[in-house]
Structure 1
Amino acid sequence: MNESAPKRLTLVSDAWHPQVNGVVRSIENTNHELEKMGLTVTMITPDLFRSMPMPTYPEIRLALATYGQIARKIEESAPEFVHIATEGPLGFKARRYCLKNGMRFTTSYHTRFPEYVAARLPIPKDMLYGIVRRFHNSGNGCMVATDSLARELETRGIHNLMRWSRGIDNALFHPRRKSEAPFGGLKRPIFLTVARVAVEKNLPALLALDLPGSIVVVGDGPARRTLEEKYPNVHFAGMLQDEALAKAYAEADVFVFTSKTDTFGNTIIEALSSGVPVAAFPVTGPSDILGGHEQAGALDDDLSAACLKALECSPEAARDLALTYTWEAAARQFYDNMLVAHGP
């Protein structure tokens, strides 16, 4: 590491434990690799403050921190650089601090905030994109996971975009022998999805399909009870983590990614690493990962057709594609972005 390069990073995120999602996993794994590179990373997250449940999504806690509290936390960490991961209460106050004190910082675009809010509240997406645009353009770089997302955000007026890809723990997520009676005796083939059970994940696109075998949902969220009642033939396995999650992936014959609004799709590469071909819509995230890799998965506007095509794909090709993603490489991208934004 260059001796003059910043070694103390303060990372601000409204998404953190006990949430289980791609944002938290991406930050956690990147931090681990950055620390191996010699950086000291200080997190400012909602668990450090009083909080309240987010309306319509109580599993997410919103920090009730004041600007003064955020300012003190940043100053105590004595950062040489700040990264703001989310456009939430903590993110906006940290942004205010950096702008007020002339501190260079980067942001990242993990979540389609305008679409998620508009799905719950009657607020025009254009107005929300105006907020997002001002938030990210005020920093010294905005990190995005894929080229297609960067092109899309450029059309929205967001500039200075930087690539920060994702990785996979291929020692945890790996192919395993499939059982004859998976998930308590369900009929194969198994079409599995792993997601928050919430409106933005578009789960009915899979649950309503007439597919051979069985459909399994791993995850929890505010829409679970409603969907369980509406789709009684679907197996809801609840929240699984670590080894239990890895075993669930490996039992699947096809992994189905239903979302049209995710910015990447960490679960896609977890499935691929488990030797499970993927079916998805041809949208940002799935297209970036699966494009040009027809043996590892199938993209189709007709999700049923994609599922059936994926049954014919190669588990070996799926695994090989996943092995091209590492957290070490993702963290190096993040660090290089930080150096560019930090300036001489």
Structure 2
Amino acid sequence: MTDAPAGILPAHMIEALFASGGIVADRTFDDDQIQPASLDLRLGKIAWRVRASFLPGPGKSVASKLDRLKLHEFDLTGGAVLETGCVYIVPLLEELDLPADVAAATNPKSSTGRLDVFTRVITDEGQEFDTVPAGYSGALYAEISPKTFPVLVRTGTRLSQIRFRRGHPTVSDEELTGIDAAAELITGGHARIGGGLQLSIDLAGTGKDRLVGFRAKRHTGVIDMDVKAAHDPLDFWEPIHRRGAAELILDPNEFYILVSREAVHVPPDLAAEMVPFDPLVGEFRVHYAGFFDPGFGHSEIGGAGSRAVLEVRSHDVPFMLDHGQTVGRLVYERMAERPRTLYGEGIGSNYQGQALKLSKHFRAME
């Protein structure tokens, strides 16, 4: 694979990486596990509740830190509830033996982030979360900490996804300006480019009731992470409606689902990633799940108008958002090759053509 071009590896290259032993698992991939530019990662058979989050650091394994920090071990094969306010470590079914020129990055899946389940991936000797160095050989572990809802998981549950890259495929602001001129990366606003494509918040409200977003309820029931359209949204969420000015005060320690004013377009030869926390625009986090696959919002497949749903949590102090205020930015990267199947093309894509939308676990609002 050393002669392959630089960029994010598409699905067919991920399949080749698995076939060549670069990805190792004791069971075959699920039918919908590979997305156009990423691979879902599956939880393994056991989990540990730990006293604290950690990084192993140089020369140290995850197992060595677990010996000091674990509180108890439990089985996931029959399912288990992960409680809010706790930190868990789970070995993943997928392990890696990457070529020397291939690195990787991980993020929570969109459905994970929209439930405020804080999830990161750790490697042996790791010094950063969600970062896999080029040539890494070893196990992967998920750190999981539900913040708002208790969740039911089991062996095979997919909370995180991994993206493989060769070289440095990030698109510069100058290149991005040219791409936007040719392909219109956003609609419903003017493209503002600086460190990536900047996005703003939509607080105008939609429909007759001027729905702006949702605030998570506390002390709810359990959400099964593997079941779609099973839960009544009003049991878990408080709808937020615009009353008066198009603004919203974020309360500390509360979790919100909001939406970008602009609709995002990711052309087939690019992928994108949301910067989750940018102190330059405010002391709040706007995204847990950061990957936007090639074809997201792409008009040729009927996905034009796909908004970026934002998972928002304020830090420490109340913070006021105004309609149209910049809240985040998308960094675009080049694909090594165009994927053979794009996001939304019959591959179980849950969020193509979305506007303001809760995760797939909830029934549609009546």
When the two structures are superposed, what TM-score results if normalisation uses the length of structure 1? 0.26
Looking at secondary structure, tell me which structure has more helix per residue. 1
Work out which structure has the larger RCO, using CA pairs closer than 8 Å and 6 or more positions apart in sequence: 2
Structure having the higher strand fraction is 2
